[in-house]
Amino acid sequence: MDCGVAADRLIYANPCKTRSFIAHAMERDVRMMTFDNYEELLKVAEFHPNSEMILRIAVSDPTATCPLNLKFGCDPVTAAPKLLKQAHEEGVNVVGISFHVGSGCNDASAYRTALQHAKNLCEIGEGFGFKMNIIDMGGGFPGAEHSHNPFEKVENLPRCRIREASGASPASQPHTDPRRHPSRRRICPSSPSPPPPSIRRTALELRSKTTKSKITMTVIHQMELIGSNKIGVLPKRVEALQMCREIACEKDSHLNDSSFMLVDLDKIVDRYNLWKRELPMIEPFYAVKCNTDPVLVRILATLGCGFDCASKEEIDVVMDCGVAADRLIYANPCKTRSFIAHAMERDVRMMTFDNYEELLKVAEFHPNSEMILRIAVSDPTATCPLNLKFGCDPVTAAPKLLKQAHEEGVNVVGISFHVGSGCNDASAYRTALQHAKNLCEIGEGFGFKMNIIDMGGGFPGAEHSHNPFEKIAETIRDAIDEFFPDTDKRLIAEPGRFFAAGPFSLVANIIHATQVPASKITKNPADDAEPGFMYYINDGVYGSFNCILFDHAHPVGFPLFDVAENSPSMVSTIWGPTCDSLDLVEDKKLLPKMAVGDWLYYPDMGAYTLAAATTFNGFSKPVPMYVMTEEMWHKIRDSCHI
């Protein structure tokens, strides 16, 4: 609309909308909206009484690239007629039928089936007095000219009969282009339909029965700044769960349902102290890719961390915080030429490589570099094994690369490895250190001063990890004593999730809740008579939960507030807010009955979440809210300029 598009040229085609978004649509006079459940009718009746609702039915091509009917659309035979009746009873104006056969449709006949259902439902809707003048055929149309299911085939699907607008004769062609068939039912009405004469508001259950009466609000003593970010300074330490409850209560009092990320800065210091206690001989170089949050970076810089950067942008983010170049390692074995030149401009010298071609680039664009050879030694059970993409064979390829570096005049100063993000087998570090010892001896034979061992990442971020950090640290200490006793080498590592995961807690709001047969969730027909629930929250896999796709994570959330005692648990699905059925956060999860406006709490959400989050479909990223105790604030403030 900011581009000058009128409201009557928009359709709000999300059947499960946030209350505040519905109210915003009313403010901007966007009337056409889709729905597929009774709960949505109640929200619309309360927050947008002038809406023109379009009932979305589930008719999908099961072979489509992205089928959508698991998340959206009601059954066109059993549920849709009932919803039309309920809309009539609630005084909500229904003006048409919508469907989406699936993104990347492969079977054009799905459109015919859907249109046949639409015709039948239009007749039912008109029986309730609705002017059913809109058919919304959704998407699924191919984008590539070479598609195996070309657009022309979709357009010329077998002829079927579509009910026309009132007063017109039956049409025999499936096209809905009003230029070719002026009497046809329209995709967009020529003018907004008048609202029904009266709207009967129905009270909507906005919150489940949770215990909040005992919440005592913590007084924030002062607000401070780290960089340009506001920090709430607390008189004493408060558990993250308690603090999130207090923030949620405050947001509720202002009718603010946006998701947020609590960042407990004291926990960053706790993790740093744990590292120095268990591995005092190893310098941590934080893996910036894990989470580029500016406050996290500044706190770690103040504590004395180095930084593992993988791009020009990450180098600039860190150095713009005042970090010196010798505290950075450019730990990407395959770098863009312009990025190598940028590293030279900023005097970042430590860089990794694992192939001959990289040596040639470095020799040309950064002759003063100090190269670290990355070898492939990985834990095959790690959450994210990395040796398929990075690292050379430590036995066959690495000695040859050291020889080639000598011949090309490139300075090699050490050995690097990464056992895999989310390491499960600590013995992988021992194997890697043994290879590093052998290769250091070979490199020294070529005249290199092999004075750096970079142990990469793989360190757990959650305190309750099944492979605790203390166990990994013990294995590493023993291996160092075995292979590098009394060493003068500089030992570094690249922990990412170790620092980033725990301090961040995500709180998301339930924007929609609907009851379904449990069989729809369990896929077990025997559960058909049992109740199940589908909840939609305002963060998903296109946002903070991208870690499900890219980091193989399995976030586990639970109600932010205590539920009533003896509340039964029911099988549930947690969906993200976008219109993509891929946006699934948790499935087949047991939860007590929740309601619109309730909050879900997800701890340990700082690693590989915000760093890759998008605003797809127009949904915002959660806002970080930083807190720190007064005692810790004074220590950090006095130690360095932040």
* Residue with more model confidence, 470 or 165: 470
Non-local (6+) Cβ contacts of 476 within 8 A are: 279, 282, 426, 429, 430, 433, 455
Task: For residue 476, give Cα distances in angstroms to 281, 433, 459.
Answer: 11, 9, 11
pLDDT tens-place string over residues 558-589:
999 998 878 899 999 999 999 888 999 999 99
Mean per-residue pLDDT, 223-241: 92
| Helix ranges, 464-517 (H) | 469-483, 497-500
Q: What is the pLDDT of residue 423?
A: 67
Helix (H) or strand (E) holding 266: helix 265-278
* Residue with more model confidence, 184 or 380: 380
pLDDT tens-place string over residues 54-95:
999 998 777 777 777 788 999 999 999 999 999 999 999 999
Residue 188 appears among annotated catalytic residues: no
pLDDT tens-place string over residues 115-135:
999 999 999 999 999 999 999
Give percent of the chain above pLDDT 90: 71
Class of the 7-155 domain? Answer: alpha beta
Catalytic-labelled residue, pool 16, 160, 579, 640 = 579
Contacts of the segment 180-185: beta carbons below 8 A, 24+ positions apart: 185/96, 185/122, 185/132, 185/133, 185/134, 185/135
Same fold, 210-234+504-605+609-631 and 266-500: no
Q: What letter does residue 15 receive in the DSSP assignment?
A: S
**Whether the predicted pLDDT of 291 surpasses 60:** yes
What is the amino acid identity at position 441? Answer: E
Query: What CATH superfamily classification does 210-234+504-605+609-631 receive?
Result: Lyase, Ornithine Decarboxylase; Chain A, domain 1 (2.40.37.10)
**Whether the predicted pLDDT of 156 surpasses 70:** no
CA distance 95 to 523: 33
pLDDT tens-place string over residues 403-430:
999 999 999 999 999 987 766 678 889 9
Q: What is the pLDDT of residue 212?
A: 53
pLDDT tens-place string over residues 512-553:
999 999 999 999 999 999 999 999 999 999 999 999 999 889
Task: For residue 536, give Cα distances in angstroms to 39, 49, 539, 585, 612.
Answer: 12, 22, 9, 9, 21
Mean per-residue pLDDT, 624-640: 88
Domain boundaries in the chain? 7-155, 210-234+504-605+609-631, 266-500
Q: Phi and psi for 144 in degrees, rounded to 5?
A: -95, 140
pLDDT tens-place string over residues 484-494:
988 789 999 99
Tokens read off for 306:
């180095």
Mean per-residue pLDDT, 585-604: 96
**Whether the predicted pLDDT of 338 surpasses 80:** yes
Q: CB burial class (10 A; 0-12, 13-18, 19+) of residue 20? A: middle
Q: What is the pLDDT of residue 388?
A: 77
**Whether the predicted pLDDT of 381 surpasses 80:** no
What is the amino acid identity at position 5? Answer: V
Q: Nearest to residue 178, comparing CAs of 160, 191, 164?
A: 164
| Helix ranges, 457-533 (H) | 469-483, 497-500, 518-522
For the domain covering 266-500, report its CATH number.
Answer: 3.20.20.10
What is the amino acid identity at position 500? Answer: A
pLDDT tens-place string over residues 255-287:
899 999 999 999 999 999 999 999 999 999 999
Q: What is the pLDDT of residue 637?
A: 82
Contact (Cβ atoms closer than 8 angstroms) between residue 259 and residue 622 = yes
**Whether the predicted pLDDT of 165 surpasses 70:** no
**Whether the predicted pLDDT of 159 surpasses 80:** no
Q: Phi and psi for 629 in degrees, rounded to 5?
A: -75, 155
Q: What does pLDDT average to over the chain? A: 87
